[in-house]
Amino acid sequence: MPLGTGNPAPATGPWRVRSDGGYPGGVTFPVVGMVGGGQLARMTHEAGIPLGIRFKLLSDTPQDSAAQVVSEVVVGDYRDLDTLRDFARGCDVITFDHEHVPTEHLRALEADGIVVRPGPDALVHAHDKGVMRAKLSAIDAPCPRHRIVADPADVSRFAAEGEGYPVILKTVVGGYDGKGVWFVRSEADAADAFKAGVDVLAEEKVDFVRELAANVVRSPHGQAVAYPVVESIQVDGVCDTVIAPAPDLDDELAGEAQQLALRIASELGVVGHLAVELFETRDADGVPGILVNELAMRPHNSGHWTQDGAITSQFANHVRAVLDLPLGDPRPRSKWTVMCNVLGGDYPDMYYAYLHCMARDPQLKIHMYGKDVKPGRKVGHVNTYGDDLAEVRERARHAADYLRGTITE
Amino acid sequence: MPLGTGNPAPATGPWRVRSDGGYPGGVTFPVVGMVGGGQLARMTHEAGIPLGIRFKLLSDTPQDSAAQVVSEVVVGDYRDLDTLRDFARGCDVITFDHEHVPTEHLRALEADGIVVRPGPDALVHAHDKGVMRAKLSAIDAPCPRHRIVADPADVSRFAAEGEGYPVILKTVVGGYDGKGVWFVRSEADAADAFKAGVDVLAEEKVDFVRELAANVVRSPHGQAVAYPVVESIQVDGVCDTVIAPAPDLDDELAGEAQQLALRIASELGVVGHLAVELFETRDADGVPGILVNELAMRPHNSGHWTQDGAITSQFANHVRAVLDLPLGDPRPRSKWTVMCNVLGGDYPDMYYAYLHCMARDPQLKIHMYGKDVKPGRKVGHVNTYGDDLAEVRERARHAADYLRGTITE
C-alpha cells in the first residue's frame, strides 16, 4: 500500500494550541493541565487517554483520586499563584476539577499568556453565586427571586418582599454538595450563614416539582452540543440519582432547557462543560416551567451517566472543548441510563461488596474514585442502562445501597 | 438515612488477593502489575481506572505508550529476573502486555509466591508456537498440518508430506505482526527463517475463506465469557479491520468457535483474555470449518472493538479476570462494530488529520496510543458502530486512511 504525503496542519489555526510538540518526534498532541485532583479530574484523564492527550495534574496530595492514576502529578496549593504559574509551564491549556481557584489568579495566568479554559470571565459565574445571579438576571434567564442580604434582619426583609419564610441562604463562594447552603425558617435560623464572613445570597424557596439538569459543552470557536435533559434526585442536599433522559418531561420544556443552557454558555463565554441545574415548576394553571438553580463549569455529577449512556461522555467532550477540538455526539446510546452515587457507609472496605455487585449484575458499570470510605462521602457511582426504566433504576439503586452497606442482600 | 453495618469481606477467599490494603484507610482494592508499556497496557490501565484498581507498570522507557498515562512506572528490562522481582513487590498480581517474558522467569516469580496471571504453564503456549501446536493437537483442537523443521531440506520434506509448497515458516518464539513469519515457495526461500537460530515451525498454507477470531476471558475460579466471533482482515500480515460480529457467519460454526476458544482456555489453564485466531475453511463439499492459527493470552487487537461495541471491554474483563473478580457481560451494544487500525504514514504529525476526522464524524471513537508516527507502525485505532454495516465500515475505513494520510479528503 503506497503511503500518501500525509495531512499536515496549517501553520496556525484555532486548534493549534502550540507548535513545539508535546511528544518526541514533533507530534503536536497537546498537554492538558488539570487543576484539582478529585474524581472529576480522574475521570477526565480516563477520557483523555484514548484521545492521545497528555494530562498534567495539580493535586493537593499524592493520594488524591486523580493523582493515583495520572503520570505527571504536581503536588501543590491551587490558591498560590506561583504554584499555578509553575504548574502551567508546559501545559497547552489549563482547566479545572473545581471552581475554587481565585479569579484574580486566573486573570494573572491569562496575563502571562497562559490559555485558561473556561476563562476567569466565565468561571467567576460558577465561583461566585452573587455574580452568577446578577448575570443570569441581566440576560433574562429565569431565576428564583434573590438578592444579596446583609444580616439576619435583612433576610427577614427579603422574606417579606415575597412569600415570607422559608428562605434559602447561600454563601456566594465556597459551597458545594449542600455545604454553604442553609434552609432558613426564621430570622434566628439565619445567623449561621453569616458566620463565615462571606457575602450571603438569599433566594426564595422554590416550590418545585423536581430537579433537572441541562448539560452542554461549548468550544472556543463557538461549537456547542447539548445532552438530553436529565432528572436529578437529591437526598440531604447531595445528588443521589440521575435519570437520563428525564422521564415524562414535556418535549417543549426539554427543548427550552437545552436552549437556555446553550444561551447561558454562549452569553457567559463558557468553554468546556456547563451544567445548568434547574428546578421544574408548575404555575397556577399547571403549566410547566424552569428556573435556574446552580451553574457548574466543569464535568458534573449530573453528567456521569454519559460515560456509559452517551456516544461521547461529558469528560471526553470537556477535553475536546478546552482544546478547541470538534465536539463529539452527545446523543444517548440506550433508551434509559440511570446513575446512582455510591456514598461511604460505616465499613471502610468496599471490595467485597463491589465483588458481590459485579457478580449479581454483569452489566453494571461501576466507577470507583480510589477514595477512602467515610460515612456520606461520595466514593464512586454506578451506571446502568436498558429499555425498562423501573428495572434499570432498581439495578443502580441496589448496587449503590449494597456498596454503601445499607442493604445486605 | 441510617447507615448499615457495611458488607465486610470474609477473612479469606479466592477474591482476596491480599489483605494488607492497597489504599490508605485499610481499603483492599488491589494493585495490578503490568509487564510491558505498549498500547495494550495503556488501554488496560484506562479500563482499570473506573474499577478503582491501582496499576503499576514495568516499562522499557518512560516514553512508552502506557508509561505516559500511568502513575507508578518502573523503567526496567523484563528479561532481567531481579528487575521483575523488584517490580512484583507490592503488586497483588502480575499480568502482561506481551508474551515475551521468559517462561523460566515466570516460574521463578511463582516460586517466590508471586501471583502471575496468566501463569507460565498457560503462557508458554502463547510464548512458544511449537508448544502451542503440540498442546492443541493433544486436545484435538483443529490445526493446520504442522511440525518443527530442522533446516531447508526438512522444509521440503514437510512440503512433500502434504500438498507441496507453499509452506508457512514461523520462529517458535519472538514473532508478532507478521515478523518471524515467512511465506515460502521453495527450499531456497526457506533459508531466512533459520538465520535467527530459533526453532522453526512449518505449517501448511491453509486455503482459507477468511480469518476469524474467538475472544474469551477466563478467571482463576473457572468463570468464562465469550465475545461474539469477529472477522479479522489482515493487510501485509498486519491486522487492518475487525468486524463484530463476523458477517454471514454460520451460527453453528460461530458457536463451535466460541466453544473451542473456551475449551482451549480451560485446557491450557488460561487466566485473563485469550484470543484464538482462526482460519475459516470450506471442505470439498462446501461445508465450513475452522482451524486455529494463533493464540494470544492478553487483550488482543481483534478485541479492540469491545471498547465501544460491547457492554464490557476485553480490557476491563482482563483486569477482572486476573483479580478473580466476577466477569462483565461480553455482549455487543450495537448491531455492528468495526475497528480499523491506524498505521503511521509519512507525515509525523497526525493532530490535524485527527481534528478533521472528529469534525467529519462526531460519532467516531478514536483511540491514540501516544506513539511516534513511523510508516506502517500501529499508532492507534478507530471504532465505529451502528445498524448499517456498509456505512459503519466506510466511516472506520475513511478515518483510518485519513489519519494515515493515504487519502486527503
Chain B from 220 to 249: CB within 8 A of any A CB: 235-236
Query: What local confidence, expressed as pLDDT, does residue B23 receive?
Result: 36
Is the predicted pLDDT of residue B14 greater than 50, yes or no? no
Per-residue pLDDT band for B20 (boundaries 50, 70, 90) equals very low
Q: Name residue B75's beta-bridge partners.
A: B59
Can you list the pairs that A246-252 forms with residues at least 24 positions away whose Cβ atoms lie under 8 Å? A246/A210, A246/A212, A247/A389, A249/A212, A249/A280, A250/A288
Per-residue pLDDT band for B394 (boundaries 50, 70, 90) equals very high
Q: Which three cell numbers stand for residue A42?
A: 480522574
Q: Closest to A325 (Cβ–Cβ): which among B325, B355, B405?
A: B355
Using the Cβ of B14 and the Cβ atoms of chain A, whether some distance falls under 8 Å is answered with: no
Residue A268: which of A304, A320, A216, A227 has the closest Cα? A216
Q: What is the pairing mode between strands B181-184 and A31-35?
A: unpaired
CB contact under 8 A, B329 and A67: no
- Quick one: average pLDDT of B13-17? 37
Does B24-116 carry CATH code 3.30.70.260? no
- Quick one: average pLDDT of B396-408? 94
* Residue numbers in B near A358 (CB within 8 A): 320, 325-326, 328
**B181: closest CA of chain A, how far (Å):** 19
CB contact under 8 A, B50 and A359: no
Owner of C-alpha cell 494515515: B404
Contact A404, B4 (CB under 8 A): yes
Percentage of the residues of chain B whose pLDDT score is greater than 70: 93
| Spatial CB neighbours of B150, under 8 Å, sequence gap ≥ 6 | none
Query: What local confidence, expressed as pLDDT, does residue B18 receive?
Result: 37
Q: Closest to B326 (Cβ–Cβ): which among A46, A362, A408?
A: A362
DSSP state string for B231-283: EEEEETTEEEEEEESPTT--HHHHHHHHHHHHHHHHHTT--EEEEEEEEEEE-
**How big is the A-B interface in CB pairs under 8 Å?**
239
Query: What local confidence, expressed as pLDDT, does residue B189 receive?
Result: 93
May I ask the CATH architecture of the domain A145-204? 2-Layer Sandwich (3.30)
CB contact under 8 A, B345 and A67: no
Interface test with B, best of A17, A65, A349 (most B CBs within 10 A): A349
**B265: closest CA of chain A, how far (Å):** 20
Chain B from 299 to 358: CB within 8 A of any A CB: 307, 311-312, 320, 325-329, 333, 345-356, 358
Per-residue pLDDT band for B395 (boundaries 50, 70, 90) equals very high
Is the predicted pLDDT of residue B177 greater than 80, yes or no? no
**B130: closest CA of chain A, how far (Å):** 32
Using the Cβ of B81 and the Cβ atoms of chain A, whether some distance falls under 8 Å is answered with: no
Residue B302: which of B233, B401, B235 has the closest Cα? B233
CB contact under 8 A, B49 and A43: yes
Contact B391, A48 (CB under 8 A): no
Distances (CA, A) of A141 to A259, A290, B2, B49, B367: 11, 10, 39, 38, 39
Measure the CA–CA gap between A174 and B141, rounded to whole angstroms: 65
Measure the CA–CA gap between A23 and A18, rounded to whole angstroms: 12
Using the Cβ of A252 and the Cβ atoms of chain B, whether some distance falls under 8 Å is answered with: no
Measure the CA–CA gap between B330 and B162, rounded to whole angstroms: 40
Chain A from 108 to 147: CB within 8 A of any B CB: none
Closest chain A residue by Cα to residue B17:
A351
Domains of chain B, by residue range, sit at: 24-116, 145-204, 210-404
Measure the CA–CA gap between A50 and A29, rounded to whole angstroms: 12
Per-residue pLDDT band for B5 (boundaries 50, 70, 90) equals very low
Q: Closest to B69 (Cβ–Cβ): which among A49, A352, A368?
A: A49
Longest dimension (CA), chain B: 80
Query: What local confidence, expressed as pLDDT, does residue B349 receive?
Result: 84
CB contact under 8 A, A347 and B23: no
Query: What local confidence, expressed as pLDDT, does residue A399 receive?
Result: 98
Query: What local confidence, expressed as pLDDT, does residue A177 receive?
Result: 63
Q: Closest to B348 (Cβ–Cβ): which among A25, A51, A363?
A: A25
Q: Closest to B351 (Cβ–Cβ): which among A28, A320, A368?
A: A28
Q: In CATH, which superfamily holds the domain spanning B210-404?
A: ATP-grasp fold, B domain (3.30.470.20)
Q: Closest to A375 (Cβ–Cβ): which among B3, B50, B351?
A: B3
**B67: closest CA of chain A, how far (Å):** 7
3-state secondary structure of B186: coil
CB contact under 8 A, A348 and B50: no
Interface test with B, best of A69, A225, A401 (most B CBs within 10 A): A69
Measure the CA–CA gap between B214 and B229, rounded to whole angstroms: 5
User: pLDDT digits over B77-100, tens only?
Assistant: 999 999 999 999 989 999 999 999
**Angle at which helices A120-127 and A103-111 cross, to 10°:** 170
Contact A242, A271 (CB under 8 A): no
- Quick one: average pLDDT of B312-332? 98
CB contact under 8 A, A43 and B27: no
pLDDT tens for each residue of chain A, 409 residues long: 233 344 444 444 433 333 443 333 444 789 999 999 999 999 999 999 999 999 999 999 999 999 999 999 999 999 999 999 999 998 999 999 999 999 999 999 999 999 999 999 999 999 899 999 999 999 999 999 999 999 999 999 999 999 999 999 999 987 766 678 999 999 999 999 999 888 999 999 999 999 999 999 999 998 999 999 999 999 988 999 999 999 999 999 999 999 999 999 999 999 999 999 999 999 999 999 999 999 999 999 999 999 999 999 999 999 999 999 999 999 999 999 999 999 999 888 889 899 999 999 999 999 999 999 999 999 999 999 999 999 999 999 999 999 999 988 7
Query: What local confidence, expressed as pLDDT, does residue B236 receive?
Result: 87
Query: What local confidence, expressed as pLDDT, does residue A178 receive?
Result: 66
Query: What local confidence, expressed as pLDDT, does residue B176 receive?
Result: 65
Using the Cβ of B42 and the Cβ atoms of chain A, whether some distance falls under 8 Å is answered with: yes
Q: Return the minimum-mean-pLDDT range out of B25-34, B152-161, B184-193, B316-325.
A: B25-34
* Residue numbers in A near B71 (CB within 8 A): 67-71, 73
Is the predicted pLDDT of residue B16 greater than 70, yes or no? no
- Quick one: average pLDDT of B246-257? 97
Using the Cβ of B45 and the Cβ atoms of chain A, whether some distance falls under 8 Å is answered with: yes
Distances (CA, A) of A152 to A43, A203, A206, A321: 41, 14, 20, 43
Query: What local confidence, expressed as pLDDT, does residue B11 receive?
Result: 41
- Quick one: average pLDDT of B402-406? 93
Q: Closest to B5 (Cβ–Cβ): which among A25, A27, A346?
A: A346
Q: What is the CA radius of gyration of chain B?
A: 22
Q: What burial letters (b/e) apply to B47-68, b meaning 16+ CB within 10 Å? A: bbbbbbbbbbbbbeeebbbbbb
Chain A from 140 to 199: CB within 8 A of any B CB: none
Q: Closest to A347 (Cβ–Cβ): which among B5, B49, B63?
A: B5
ipTM reported for the complex, 2 dp:
0.92
CB contact under 8 A, A368 and B51: yes
